[in-house]
């Protein structure tokens, strides 16, 4: 195609033609494609900085010497064409996919990116852990302070243990990000201003530096911690109060790390909490005291347990969150059976297992069982919805195998017909059980 085959684009006002190019970028890998059409398109693309404000770069699998020399110049050219617009950048270097790609070429690319650090808005670096001490982090430091850095992510690829030995410094202590994500690199490696931080994600590193980060982030609203391990130095026993943290997610943590965090934090604004099972005694002794210390206004609790705690202990946890509206549970069906049985019991029933269940999940609006096994108390579900205060409850169950009698299944289908928000999803066949039962019944009739 050339200019002779373009009946209208070059005849449109430049701002409209540029907008057409922007709308077309969703199907293209690079705006260089426009320039290959004709001179007019090439000039229009080069004069449209919005086309160049996003750069995602990863070294190709195979590069000859000419391409190695060309790539850094292409990056420089790309960034210069973006004018003064905020930049979204993703620079990735995966050792397994980039054999033969010289480190000095990558460093020249990183240096080019750093030259425009004042315009960083959304930046992600995926870099090999093995080279971090001397070859990368020091080059990633912004040359000029970012004016409006929204999100900054830095992930180490390769052997995560290699990152533990070193503490290189990445300095950005004037204007920090609003969102920060780090994977497999010690927090102690960063000297960043945390005063704007609202979201934090930390993966596969130690707790070293975590208390200092939390203290320096008064606006923090969401924190996700995954697969962390104990710090190399003792953590102060002084409780850290994070006044605005509303969402806390803890996954794949060892028992000792979970305990350390529960003893460290006080979160008076906590509304949503998700965590994996770390042992019955930890839930009893640490999670409950953490909620009580935070004067819990918790509204959403998501919990996956490999080994179910006793219902009495779990109920103590629920009692520490009296405002709970949404409960999501997964794992062993024994605990889930207990909950269905308790919900089905009359608020004034004298034989309630706890003696008095008038306040049991009294504000609950949504109950979800996900990835669970061994659930058997299906007959309790119709009983739950007899009570007026449970009519608006949404119940969503995803179970690896559904075995329900036809009689109970018919009652459950009737509940759905009455407008009750009830779904039972059979993971083994990936189907809505009640819909399948309804269709099977209609075929028989």
Output the pLDDT for position 81.
Answer: 87
| Alpha carbon distances (Å) from 394 to 70, 301, 391, 415, 419 | 58, 15, 9, 12, 10
CA dihedral sign of residues 324, 325, 328, 334 = positive
Give 318's contacts (C-beta < 8 A, 6+ positions apart): 301, 324, 327, 360, 361
Output the pLDDT for position 354.
Answer: 45
Are 71 and 105 contacting, i.e. CB atoms less than 8 angstroms apart?
yes
Output the pLDDT for position 273.
Answer: 96
Residue from 113, 105, 165 nearest 135 by CA: 105
Residue count of the chain:
445
> What are the structure tokens assigned to 115, written together?
């030259």
Give 156's contacts (C-beta < 8 A, 6+ positions apart): 127, 128, 129, 132, 162, 163, 183, 184, 185
Output the pLDDT for position 430.
Answer: 92
Output the pLDDT for position 407.
Answer: 95
Output the pLDDT for position 284.
Answer: 66
| Three-class HEC string of 4-28 | HHCCCHHHCCHHHHHHHHHHHHHHC
Output the pLDDT for position 278.
Answer: 62
List per-block mean pLDDT (blocks of 10 residues) for the chain, which spans 445 residues.
54 67 64 67 76 80 68 86 90 63 76 90 80 60 90 75 54 90 89 95 93 95 95 81 96 90 94 80 77 91 79 85 92 83 75 52 93 87 93 94 92 96 93 93 80
Output the pLDDT for position 93.
Answer: 74
- Identify the bridge partners of residue 304 per DSSP, sorted by sequence position: 276, 330
**Distance, CA of 226 to CA of 248 (rounded, Å):** 11
Output the pLDDT for position 410.
Answer: 95
């Amino acid at each position: 195609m050339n200019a002779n085959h373009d009946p209208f684009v070059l005849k449109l006002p430049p701002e409209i033609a540029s907008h057409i190019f922007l709308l077309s970028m969703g199907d293209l890998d690079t705006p260089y494609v426009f320039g290959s059409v004709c001179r007019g398109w090439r000039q229009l693309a080069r004069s449209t900085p919005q086309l160049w404000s996003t750069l995602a770069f990863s070294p190709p699998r195979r590069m000859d010497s000419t391409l190695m020399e060309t790539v850094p110049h292409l990056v420089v050219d790309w960034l210069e064409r973006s004018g003064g617009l905020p930049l979204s950048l993703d620079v990735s270097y995966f050792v397994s996919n980039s054999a033969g790609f010289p480190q000095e070429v990558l460093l020249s690319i990183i240096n080019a990116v750093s030259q425009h650090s004042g315009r960083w808005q959304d930046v992600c670096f995926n870099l090999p852990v093995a080279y971090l001490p001397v070859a990368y982090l020091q080059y990633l430091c912004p040359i000029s302070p970012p004016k409006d850095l929204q999100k900054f992510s830095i992930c180490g690829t390769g052997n995560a243990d290699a990152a533990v030995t070193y503490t290189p410094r990445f300095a950005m202590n004037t204007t920090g990000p609003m969102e920060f994500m780090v994977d497999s690199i010690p927090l102690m490696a960063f000297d960043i201003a945390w005063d704007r931080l609202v979201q934090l994600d930390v993966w596969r590193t130690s707790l070293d530096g975590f208390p200092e980060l939390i203290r320096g982030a008064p606006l923090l609203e969401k924190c996700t911690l995954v697969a962390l391990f104990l710090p190399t130095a003792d953590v102060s026993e002084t409780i850290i109060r994070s006044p605005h943290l509303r969402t806390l997610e803890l996954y794949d943590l060892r028992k000792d790390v979970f305990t350390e965090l529960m003893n460290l934090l006080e979160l008076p604004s906590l509304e949503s909490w998700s965590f994996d099972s770390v042992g019955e005694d930890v839930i009893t002794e640490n999670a409950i005291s953490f909620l009580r210390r935070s004067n819990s206004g918790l509204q959403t609790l998501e919990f996956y347990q490999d080994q179910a705690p006793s219902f009495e202990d779990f109920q103590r946890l629920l009692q520490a969150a009296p405002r709970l509206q949404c409960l999501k549970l997964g794992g062993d069906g024994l605990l889930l059976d207990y909950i269905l049985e308790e919900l089905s019991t009359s608020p004034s029933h004298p034989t309630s297992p706890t003696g008095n269940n008038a306040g049991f999940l009294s504000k609950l609006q949504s109950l979800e069982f996900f990835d669970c096994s061994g659930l058997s108390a299906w007959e309790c579900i119709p009983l739950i919805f007899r009570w007026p205060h449970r009519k608006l409850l949404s119940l969503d169950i995803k179970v690896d195998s559904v075995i329900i009698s036809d009689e109970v299944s018919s009652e459950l289908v009737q509940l759905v017909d009455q407008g009750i928000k009830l779904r039972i999803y059979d993971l083994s066949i990936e189907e809505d059980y009640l819909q399948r039962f309804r269709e099977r019944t209609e075929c028989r009739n």
